[in-house]
Structure 1
């Protein structure tokens, strides 16, 4: 029986052959940029499921990637001899735009912001419980979402539309993460995480009720931004996942769904594309 990794490699190769084929329906072509929801090593992720449906997808997503890196670029080098730092620029964005220009897809799928909201950045949005201050620094978080997060998403959209103004960009807003302390493991080896529970523990926010309330506020505010952008830009579309995966058993760890959950999200992307096109391109 083929392993998940072998299946992923096979889907990758088939998808590239289809993308490069002159006879491929343009409406089936997709460029995907994002984080681990589009590129998850352990189970079949959203992109894998869409490929199995028949879509041809060029994937630029990377596990753990941040919105800031996808749009602006955070990779750097330091030349100690001359005491100078060098930022390498928006490498990921350039690669994505190159694919958009060369492949001429109908859709760009975007999965970003999760690592900026409930990943390693979470602790900065919390006050220590013993401080007597509100546990959630709501105004600070709203300023971040409506400031640099909104600016980065808008910059990504405008750059894509400079290449092709007719492309539809579809972006999901995640569901409420589970502060379970579960990490990303493969064959018993820990590779990453946990992400959420340690941030709460550092701030002495230890009850699940308090944790869940803050997570709901974080994810709701992020989704409010995406809804606002979808009302502003006709070719930007938001997929609302809130409340779809309420059970801990549906999650592979704190911030990643099991393959069945990713399959459900893939079907929602498919439904949105069918709705936009007014027909099923992979029927």
Structure 2
């Protein structure tokens, strides 16, 4: 006899939720009903995923709720496979699927949050993408696990989309406050923004950029036919009581309510510094393409402090689509070996 999908209290048993995820039969309505997502204030770009106890019966399996994050991630991967099209979009002449690794700008909890630029590239433009991204992952997480290497080094894929460094740049576990000076009445104008950024920010940025560059170099050497595309985010907007940026700024006396222009100018300097570093890679490494997303998202197109709405994500996806269509066809690019060896010793 088949197990009932509803408990006596009208809730869906947890095992039934798991089965739906595993079979790929969970609907968008069920998904938004069974799961909840809350910002993780200790990690920019991260979310804490939970089970909606009002809709899911966890009696007797309470500890299973800790698997919510993995279930949501697995469901997202299953959805990717369902929407994958047989042929790539016209104008793209490289191997499919594309490999993508990254943070929440490449993958968010589906349905609960707006689509990402990867979702738009898949659903609107028709790119086949093997998306390995996970919200909250740091640059170090991605490099250490290295799950993107097999398809790149084996030759199965020759295009690599990468989104990383944002949570590291904005303070990570320590929060953005550690990079900011206390509010000073003598520095109240947006033009004073540079005053508030401590040297520690640039020291941290230097380490992030070195790690990022090391990865670019390794791709250059280990997968010379692969072209890597990266971005440095858009100008995120601090919010009052914002869990990732706003609260940290308020902690040092920089209130986004009363001084929004100053707060935004500070963030702008930080975002520009990271973008400028990535843009420089494109002039040094033949296997790297920098996609500038700054200015793509309108001020009313932010879902929260760090993530765009569906309309904002569509604009960032358009820029990636334009970059992808400009890439040389498969077989027409190989990173020069001599240059690679010379450059490999360049990273600190």
The TM-score range, normalised by the shorter chain, is: 0.7 to 0.9
1:29–1:103 contact (8 Å) kept in structure 2: no
- Once the two structures are TM-superposed, the CA of residue 68 in structure 1 deviates from its matched residue by 2.2
CA distance in 2, matches of 1:197, 1:159: 36
- Once the two structures are TM-superposed, the CA of residue 141 in structure 1 deviates from its matched residue by 2.3
Match of 1:190 in 2: none
| 1:274 matches 2:325 | yes
TM-score normalised by length of structure 2: 0.62
1:119–1:196 contact (8 Å) kept in structure 2: no
| 1:67 matches 2:139 | yes
2:177–2:248 contact (8 Å) kept in structure 1: yes
1:28–1:54 contact (8 Å) kept in structure 2: no
- Once the two structures are TM-superposed, the CA of residue 10 in structure 1 deviates from its matched residue by 5.3
- Once the two structures are TM-superposed, the CA of residue 70 in structure 1 deviates from its matched residue by 1.6
Quick one: which of 206, 209, 214 aligns to 2:266? 214
Question: Per the alignment, do residues 225 and 128 of structure 1 end up closer, same or farther by CA in structure 2, a change over 3 Å counting?
Answer: same
2:84–2:126 contact (8 Å) kept in structure 1: no
| 1:3 matches 2:12 | no
1:110–1:172 contact (8 Å) kept in structure 2: yes
**Greater relative contact order: 1 or 2 (C-alpha under 8 angstroms, separation 6 or more)?**
1
Match of 1:144 in 2: 204
- Residue 238 of structure 1 aligns to a residue whose secondary structure is strand
Quick one: which of 37, 42, 47 aligns to 2:118? 47
- Once the two structures are TM-superposed, the CA of residue 18 in structure 1 deviates from its matched residue by 5.9
Question: Per the alignment, do residues 59 and 165 of structure 1 end up closer, same or farther by CA in structure 2, a change over 3 Å counting?
Answer: same
TM-score normalised by length of structure 1: 0.76
Which of structures 1 and 2 has the bigger CA Rg? Answer: 2
Match of 2:215 in 1: 156
Question: Per the alignment, do residues 251 and 45 of structure 1 end up closer, same or farther by CA in structure 2, a change over 3 Å counting?
Answer: same
CA distance in 2, matches of 1:260, 1:195: 22
Quick one: which of 204, 213, 232 aligns to 2:284? 232
Q: How many residues align?
A: 241
RMSD in angstroms over aligned alpha carbons? Answer: 2.9
1:119–1:195 contact (8 Å) kept in structure 2: no
- Once the two structures are TM-superposed, the CA of residue 43 in structure 1 deviates from its matched residue by 2.0
1:46-79 Cα deviation digits (max 9, x unpaired): 11111222222111111011112222xxxxxxxx
Question: Per the alignment, do residues 233 and 9 of structure 1 end up closer, same or farther by CA in structure 2, a change over 3 Å counting?
Answer: closer
CA distance in 1, matches of 2:132, 2:254: 36
CA distance in 1, matches of 2:153, 2:214: 17
CA distance in 1, matches of 2:131, 2:247: 31
Question: Per the alignment, do residues 232 and 15 of structure 1 end up closer, same or farther by CA in structure 2, a change over 3 Å counting?
Answer: farther
Q: Structure 1: state its 5+ residue gaps.
A: 20-24, 72-89, 184-193
CA distance in 2, matches of 1:158, 1:164: 10
1:16–1:58 contact (8 Å) kept in structure 2: no
Question: Per the alignment, do residues 113 and 9 of structure 1 end up closer, same or farther by CA in structure 2, a change over 3 Å counting?
Answer: closer
- Once the two structures are TM-superposed, the CA of residue 36 in structure 1 deviates from its matched residue by 0.3
Question: Per the alignment, do residues 50 and 44 of structure 1 end up closer, same or farther by CA in structure 2, a change over 3 Å counting?
Answer: same
- Once the two structures are TM-superposed, the CA of residue 99 in structure 1 deviates from its matched residue by 2.9
- Once the two structures are TM-superposed, the CA of residue 278 in structure 1 deviates from its matched residue by 6.7
- Once the two structures are TM-superposed, the CA of residue 246 in structure 1 deviates from its matched residue by 3.6
- Once the two structures are TM-superposed, the CA of residue 104 in structure 1 deviates from its matched residue by 2.1
- Once the two structures are TM-superposed, the CA of residue 149 in structure 1 deviates from its matched residue by 1.0
2:101–2:132 contact (8 Å) kept in structure 1: yes
